[in-house]
Chain A
Amino acid sequence: MSTTLKLRFFARLREDLGTGAEEVAVPPGVATVAGLRAHLAARGGAWATTLAQGKAIRVAVNQELAEAATPIRAGDEVAFFPPVTGG
């Protein structure tokens, strides 16, 4: 059983990864924001450099700011983006 998620990418991340959105099925062991980030970074290439540990990245789960330990469940919308610069 895999978990299907809707991913969104914004700003610099969208450009560096070459995509703004995708649906992805992840293994059941990928159960938190940190786990998903590591899972995506393991794709290598731009994914590895853009999502590397230590890079300042914000994550939102279902459009609410999340932490590394925030759980993810099937059907969730998970967005990755740089620190915000509005206002």
Chain B
Amino acid sequence: MPVRIQTEDFDVSAEIAALRRGNPKIGAVASFVGVVRDVNDGDSVAALKLEHYPGMTEKAIEAIVAEAKARWDIADVTVVHRVGELKPLDQIVLVVVAGGHRGDAFAACEFIMDYLKTRAPFWKKEQTPQGARWVEARSSDDEAAERWAGAKKDVA
């Protein structure tokens, strides 16, 4: 269950290959890549700085992955999240879920992202023409996470 926080970029193909390697029981791999946009709340964004809480970040994501594994029939998960200075077009976050079948892999991948957005201690500060500003949390992210509250393995 690799969870990594790093400043350097990641290679999606290499991460997927590493997660699948040597496991013939895997029939489905679902992945999500988050990318820096050049616009947010109507303003152009020239750069982004990501701060996190070392130690808690890893623990929080590992707990989210453990919950996903309890809810869905999945084999393994990789989460890579970048911190530090990022620019538009840069990759920020990767979630890869490998399992026997696509239904559980898709659901677990979306669940992990929704929970990461609301529970993992990262904060974005963006550089706009008006100066630097902290990105505000979105209520739509809370709503996305809350819809999993009642979801069980058999109804997901």
Report A's interface with B, CB cutoff 8 A: 8, 10-12, 56, 58, 60, 63-65, 79, 81-87
Contact = CB atoms under 8 A, between A and B. Distances in A.
Nearest to B117: A87
Contacts of A60: 53, 56, 121
Interface residues of B, number: 28
Interface of B: 34, 50-53, 55-56, 59-60, 81, 92-93, 113, 116-125, 134-137, 141
Given A8-B53, A65-B60, 15 more contacts: A11-B125, A56-B137, A63-B56, A64-B59, A79-B56, A81-B53, A83-B137, A84-B122, A86-B50, A86-B81, A86-B123, A87-B34, A87-B93, A87-B113, A87-B141
Contacts, number: 75
A3 to B, nearest CB: 21
A43 to B, nearest CB: 22
